[in-house]
A and B are shown apart, each in its own frame.
Chain A
Amino acid sequence: MAEEFLRIDKLVKTFGGNAVVKGVDLSFQRGEFVTLLGPSGCGKTTILRMIAGFERPTSGTISVEGKDITSLAPNQRKIGMVFQAYALFPNMNVGDNIAFGLKIASMPREQREARVEEMLKLIGLAGYGKRFPFELSGGQQQRVALARALAPSPKMLLLDEPLSALDAKIRVSLREQIREIQRELGITTVFVTHDQEEALSISDRIVVLNAGNIEQVGQPFEIYNKPTTRFVATFVGTLNTLNATVADAGAKTVRIGETTATIPALPTSAKAGETVALTMRPEAVALANGVDRDIMLEGKVAEVAFLGSVIRLKVDLGGNLVSVDTFNDQRTPPPAHGTSVRVGIAASDVLVLSA
């Protein structure tokens, strides 16, 4: 049984009467990597800043290992934090930056120097100790910031959009490195991002936030494949919507144009003749080249986007524009714009989401 490390109870934060976090309850297990995901203004950074102690909650409590730390000053919390804009101290070289927390903790010089070397090796920047922050690239600066946060062996690591200021390639390699280091050290980590791909690739669990409330908490697989609200389904990944008419609610059948299909996810509350929105991921829709699926529909290719390993087609299905993802096969070129195609959908991949 996993051990609870961090607990947030009924956390509320208001700024001038405007509620930014509206009664959030969360529990984090020891050694877990949890991502707070949501659009700008959803309250994810405010929650992180309350955990760090930079913002005082309007109400609610934050506990670490069963101890209430809500009123504890940031410098008493033993938390490591990495900021979006690196926040390295410009007057100190890399070694001194990493050693700062150790110096504050009065660690003897020899131990401090050994720890700095250890951290430099961990982030792959051995030999960079004498360089100043302005002599490093953005990715290198952020790795130093990570080493500085980890050097005093904090109880928990907070990452506030640490990859946002970096270019795409470095972002991917650094997030893999962060995850690797986090696993190696087994440190409980809270990561804030608005990038769903980042969240899906790095997290043990994701907390999807919207307008100060939790929409869904779950593993990346659950969040992506089993979204419980329309917000989660649309915010995380691309979602297709097909309008259908309920034919027989009891038999869970709907009509999409001339095609009749059985949708297991159709709620029993649906009424015959009612219009419902069927949703599915682009990869759940296949070009029906010899494939037989529960729902087969005719359409025309409206757009073709080559994304490298994946080709994304937009197919017009009687007025419904549906994205179809297909793997790139260099022996089979994608259908051209305007070509008539048949697409197949497995009924089990279809979700019927409430508005």
Chain B
Amino acid sequence: MTHVSLTADKATGPVNTGPAVSIWRSIPIGAWLGVLPFIAFALMFLIVPTLFLVSSAFVDRAGNFTLQNIIDLGTEQVVNAFSISIRISAASAFFGALIGLAMALAIIRGRLPSAIRSTVMTFSGVASNFAGLPLAFAFIATLGRLGLVTVILKTVFGFDLYKSGFNLLSFVGLTLTYLYFQIPLMILIIAPAIDGLKKEWSEAASTLGASRLQFWLYIGLPVLWPNLLGTLSLLFANAFGAIATAYALTGSSLNIVPILLYAQIRGDVLHNPGLGAALALGMIAITAIANVLYIVVRTRAERWLK
């Protein structure tokens, strides 16, 4: 009897507990614990604030639902701010991408000593994160009215930079300052894509009669194109959301969206948190479009390079 009973227990045991155990075993608890800090961080500093901003954009000072904040996005001042922001971001992204691509091509495919590549990549890692107050100060100290380069140009070469029309606290000045972190960011992002261009492609093209120019025209640039376009949108988003550098450099003299937004939240005169939230919503929409574009074209590039 005992023997039969034991056999029955053994036989039924796994059948009853099996599915429950397999469900628990199928959940990688350790892996989820690993990504928990990221989830918490994203919730606290991205998702919850975004939801708060979205809801604030549709609420007036008394706490009632309104579309006035969204309608106010159409005022001349706000439209101008978006226009300047988009132009500065587009200019710094375009020139950053162009110069960054040229530099990346030179250090990776230009047969320069390998030390040059590692030096530029290390510098790019640092410079792409060098923004805000220190960057603004660095540019004021070098290209400001009494900056080192401005003074040297004037005293040594007799060239007055500011009389020639240059102004650091302007569209051109801010774009130039942004390029300081946009170019290194471009180098860092595009370098793996350039590394992915196989040497055999250019060799195959040359045996088929193609010149170097024809290789770049028909193969090199088209292969890099999705990456270039994607990186361009990422650089655009990067510049569009920057405030610390712009604010430290120009104060409130340049009417860009982040500065206008800052004035709505902190300013004594322009204080309008609802409009600030609507401005933020507009910025989120534009950066989201840029990032979605980046993801789409990148996915396409990766499909090609499988």
Contact = CB atoms under 8 A, between A and B. Distances in A.
Interface of A: 52-54, 73-75, 77-81, 83, 85, 87, 89-92, 100-101, 103-105, 132, 134, 145, 148-149, 152, 154, 158
B207 A90 contact: no
A340 to B, nearest CB: 55
Contacts of A134: 303-304, 306
A90 B218 contact: no
A81 B219 CA distance: 17
B223 A91 contact: yes
Interface string B79-97: 0000000000000000000
Given A90-B304, A91-B304, A134-B304, A75 B206 contact: yes
Contact of A87 (B198, B211, B304): B198
B209 A81 contact: no
Given A91-B223, A91-B304, A134-B304, A101 B201 contact: no
Contacts of B223: 89-91
B198 to A, nearest CB: 6
B200 interface: yes
Nearest to B305: A90
A52 B206 CA distance: 10
Q: Which 8 A-B pairs rank lowest in CB-CB distance, beginning with the nearest? A: A101-B208, A87-B200, A74-B206, A104-B209, A91-B222, A90-B304, A81-B207, A87-B204
22 contacts: A74-B203, A74-B206, A75-B210, A81-B203, A81-B207, A87-B200, A87-B204, A89-B205, A89-B218, A89-B223, A90-B304, A91-B219, A100-B210, A100-B218, A104-B209, A104-B210, A105-B209, A132-B304, A134-B304, A134-B306, A148-B208, A152-B209
B253 interface: no
Contacts of A92: 219
Contacts of B214: 104
A149 B207 contact: yes
Contacts, number: 71
A288 B36 CA distance: 75
B207 A74 contact: yes
Contacts of A145: 204
B213 to A, nearest CB: 11
Given A75-B210, A152-B209, A85 B204 contact: no
Contacts of A89: 201, 204-205, 218-219, 223
Contacts of B204: 81, 83, 87, 89, 145, 148
Nearest to A103: B218
Contacts of A73: 206
A75 B219 CA distance: 15
A54 B210 contact: no
Contacts of B304: 90-91, 132, 134
Nearest to A54: B203
Contacts of B209: 75, 78, 101, 104-105, 152
Contacts of A152: 208-209
Contacts of B218: 89, 100, 103
A87 B222 CA distance: 15
